[in-house]
Structure 1
Amino acid sequence: MAELNSSPAKAGGRSARTRIAARVDLTAMVDLAFLLITFFMLTTTLQKNNAMAISMPSDGGAMGVPQSRTMTICLGKNNQALWYMGMADAPLSQPRIVNYGKAGLRQAIINKVNEVKAQTGKDIIVLVKPSNRSHYDNLVNTLDEINIAKIDRYAIVDIAAKDVDLLKKYNAY
C-alpha cells in the first residue's frame, strides 16, 4: 500500500507525548494514474493515420512531356479551380473554371482521363499549381480527386505568371 509519512524527524530531547503519524492512503491515486496511463496508451495506438502517400520524382533533369497528355489544374480563390490541357503559353483546350466535387473537378478529370486514354493509349499527367489565393483544403481536395480518378502521374508545381494571368482573366485570383 502506498503511504505518505508526514511526521517530522525527532530532534534530540525529551518527548512529552507520543504523536501518532498522520497517514494518507494513496492507493486510489495510484490506481487512477494507472487507469489514465492505460487509457492514453490505448487511444494513441488505436488512432489511425490519415495520410495519403505522394510519390514525387527524384531531383533529376527535366523530362519532355507531350502537351496532349498534360492537364494543368490551377487552384484559385473562392474554392475555384481553372483547368486546361497543354501549357499556359498555348493551351490545347479552352481554360475552364470549375468547383470541387463530383460535378466539377472530378467530372473534368475523369472525362479527360478517358479522352487521353482513347487518343494516345497512355495515362494522363496532371500538373497541380496552387496559387497564393487558394487554401490548403483546395490542394487536399484536388489530390483526393486525382486519387479517386486513379491517376498515378501527377506533380505539384509552382504556379507561373501566365497561370496567374489566366486566373485573373477568369476572376479566380
Structure 2
Amino acid sequence: MAEINIPAAGGNKPGVRRSKKHSTRVDLTPMVDLGFLLITFFIFTTSMSEPMQMKLVMPDDTDPKTPDMNVGKSTALTIIPLKDDKIFYYHGELTEALQTNTYGITNYSLTDGLGQIVRNKQRALDKIGKRKDLMLMVKPTPESNYQHLVNVLDEVLINDVKHYAIMDLTPEEKAAAETKTAAASN
C-alpha cells in the first residue's frame, strides 16, 4: 500500500512557518505479485507448438475381402531400409530390376540420397504423364530401426508422394539387398 510519512509539528520556534514537503514511499510488493501472477497465467494458458503428425492409414489385413492392389511396373519404387543408414531400392519387380540393373544402394543424404531417388522417379513419370500413379513401397528389414522408417516417411511427405505402403519384406528381397549391399561395400 502507498503510505505518506508526515513528521510531527516543528515545535515553538518564532518566525514564519514554512510548509514542510512530505516524502512519499510506494510499496511495490503487490505490483511484483501481480506481475508474477500474470506471467504464470500466460505460461499456463499459452499452447506450445505441437508436433506435426503424418496421417497413416493402414488396410485391414484380417479381412479376406480386402482386394490385392495391382501396381504398374513403371510406377513402382520399392525402398528397403537397411542397417547402417543404407537403403536398397529398385524400380518395378525385383527379378526384372536385377536383370536390367534398375536398382541401387543409397542413404539419407540431402543431396544424393533417398529424396533424390524419389525425385528422379517423379521426373521420369512426368515425362509419360503418370506422376500421380507413383507407388512407393517401403519394406523395412528387421535390422533397420524406427528412425529409418521415420526418415523414409519424411521423404514421402517432403516429395509429396500420394501413394505409399509399408509392407513385409520377402526372403528374396532380403537376400538381394544383402548381396548387393555386400558387393557395393567391397
| TM-score between the two structures when normalised by the length of structure 1 | 0.69
Highest relative contact order (Cα 8 Å, sep 6+), 1 or 2?
1
1:114-133 alignment to 2 at 5 Å?
A: 114-123=123-132, 124-133=134-143
Number of aligned residue pairs: give it: 137
1:128-147 alignment to 2 at 5 Å?
A: 128-147=138-157
Change (3 A) 1:58 1:93: farther
Q: Show structure 1 runs of 5+ residues with no match.
A: 1-33
Contact 2:81–2:149 under 8 Å retained in 1: yes
Whole-angstrom CA distance in 2 between matches of 1:42 and 1:166 = 55
Match of 1:51 among 27, 50, 53: 53
**Identity rate, percent:** 29
Whole-angstrom CA distance in 1 between matches of 2:56 and 2:162 = 10
State the shift of 1:71 in Å. Answer: 0.3
The answer to which of 144-153 and 53-62 deviates more is: 53-62
The answer to which of 58-67 and 131-140 deviates more is: 58-67
Question: Which residue of 2 is the match for residue 78 of structure 1?
Answer: 84
Change (3 A) 1:40 1:163: farther
Larger Rg: 2
Whole-angstrom CA distance in 2 between matches of 1:112 and 1:133 = 26
Contact 1:89–1:162 under 8 Å retained in 2: no
State the shift of 1:87 in Å. Answer: 1.9
Change (3 A) 1:158 1:40: farther
Question: Which residue of 2 is the match for residue 110 of structure 1?
Answer: 119
Question: Runs ≥4 in structure 1, deviation > 3 angstroms?
Answer: 37-43, 55-59
| TM-score between the two structures when normalised by the length of structure 2 | 0.65
